[in-house]
Amino acid sequence: MTTQPAPQPTTTDPLRDSRFLRACRREPVDATPVWLMRQAGRYMAEYRSLRSKVSFLELCKNPELATETTIFAAEVLGVDAAILFADILLILEPLGFQLEFSKGEGPVIHNPIRETADVDAVRPLEDVEALGYVYEAIRQIRAGLPGNVPLIGFAGAPFTLACYAIEGGGSRNYQKAKAFMYSDPGAWDALMAALTDSTARYLNAQAAAGVQALQVFDSWVGSLSPDDYRRFVQPHMRRLFQMLDPAVPHIHFGADTGSLLELQRDAGGDVVGLDWRVELDQAWDRLGRGVGVQGNLDPIVLFAPVDEIARQTRRILGQAANRPGHIFNLGHGILPHTPVDHVRALVRMVHEFSAR
Ligand code: CP3
């Protein structure tokens, strides 16, 4: 008598097989995955109500509240991925900067870098546990999210963080940061190296805590010429991506980077962010099929009537043409006052129009 081999259980991993992670690996999907930068934020009444009770920094540092905020937004919108509720500037605190989010003004750094000696005081993050509240939020979010919804961790890119550290807040032209870069390239490189090391450790600690993907936000890098990017930023970005945990996909985001896309791709990342100033199909042709793309609806289109949102959604999906590796998103974050029902309609339309 022969014994039958026990039937092998089919091993499916709902997280690994999620649309979002499949798209990050440029594998075919049943419909285009969609999530939205700043999907949890002031355009939602529930968020505003929470913020009337706690400050933004308190919210970021309270893992229970950050968890609730993250999961609520992902659920209400029906998106294919959640993004950790936090901010790119939090890492500046353990690096010695006094950070404040003031009403109306946005982020302020009270002790910005002004001279070479200030850079010497910036040490790479020694103890990643200084941001322990972020990893605790990640553990709680992961435990609370449905088993097939990936969680995205993130950090600011060194250039964007350096802009804040030098300007002391938001800026129109990044005049102080760029002047510092040109006049003291040695100190600039030291600062960028310290920020790169710190960011890599921070992102890898997020991966260890349980995120399924890492997005690097180089929000202000579009202010640089290609030559300046090559000289002052690209070597650091290359080193950053080399240091990141290869077990999770890496998304390389920038805005206003139409002239930098190839340089950004060469620096690293499995997926490159595109904003609405480029045609998705042309940009993807330039990047080649070795990377995925994320984008690229103009966030302002969400203020348009739903039929216009539908038209633009179809256009973008048409340009992506069901090629594996497209993640639908906005070209930049959702703005305050965006109608929530338009955001929900967008998510539904992406899924409906792209169903294979
Ligand atoms: O996307 C999400 O839902 C996750 C949370 C998230 C926030 N900030 C929450 C936030 C993420 C991923 C960020 C990233 C971030 N923060 C970036 C990169 C993305 C981009 O927009 O380019 C940047 C540049 C920052 C810095 C920052 N944080 C600014 C300039 C501001 C003030 C301007 C603004 O939009 O309010 C913040 C505050 C901030 N970060 C808010 C939120 C929800 C609003 C704070 C509030 O509640 O008043």
CATH number of the domain where residue 206 is located: 3.20.20.210
User: pLDDT by residue (tens digit) across 71-92?
Assistant: 999 999 999 999 999 999 999 9
- For residues 271-298, average pLDDT: 98
User: Is 12 inside any structural domain?
Assistant: no
- Asked, as a colleague might, if the bond just before 296 is cis with ω within 30 of 0, I would say yes
Question: Domain limits at 92?
Answer: 19-354
β-bridge pairing 271-273 and 99-102: unpaired
Residues 6 or more apart in contact with residue 4 via CB below 8 angstroms: none
User: Is 2 inside any structural domain?
Assistant: no
User: pLDDT by residue (tens digit) across 204-233?
Assistant: 999 999 999 999 999 999 999 999 999 999
Tell me the pLDDT band of 7, cut-offs 50, 70 and 90.
Answer: low
Q: Which atom of ligand 1 is nearest to the CA of 41?
A: 43
Tell me the pLDDT band of 5, cut-offs 50, 70 and 90.
Answer: low
User: Is 14 inside any structural domain?
Assistant: no
Among 72-76, 105-109, 254-258, 296-300, the range scoring the smallest mean pLDDT is 105-109
Q: How many angstroms separate the CA atoms of 170 and 168, rounded?
A: 7
Question: Can you point out the beta strands (E) in the chain?
Answer: 82-83, 99-102, 106-109, 151-156, 213-218, 250-254, 271-273, 292-297, 326-330
User: Is 7 inside any structural domain?
Assistant: no
User: Is 10 inside any structural domain?
Assistant: no
Q: How many residues does the chain have?
A: 356
Q: How many domains does the chain have?
A: 1
Rounded to the nearest angstrom, the distance between the alpha carbon of 38 and the centre of ligand 1 is 7
Rounded to the nearest angstrom, the distance between the alpha carbon of 285 and the centre of ligand 1 is 31
User: Is 65 inside any structural domain?
Assistant: yes
Please check the confidence at residue 3 and state whether its pLDDT lies above 80. Answer: no
Task: Enter the pTM of the model.
Answer: 0.96
User: Is 1 inside any structural domain?
Assistant: no
User: Is 5 inside any structural domain?
Assistant: no
Q: Is 22 an annotated catalytic residue?
A: no
Q: Is 253 in the pocket of ligand 1 (CB under 6 A)?
A: no
Rounded to the nearest angstrom, the distance between the alpha carbon of 123 and the centre of ligand 1 is 25
Q: Answer for the pair 132, 86: CB distance below 8 angstroms, yes or no.
A: no
Q: Is 44 in the pocket of ligand 1 (CB under 6 A)?
A: no
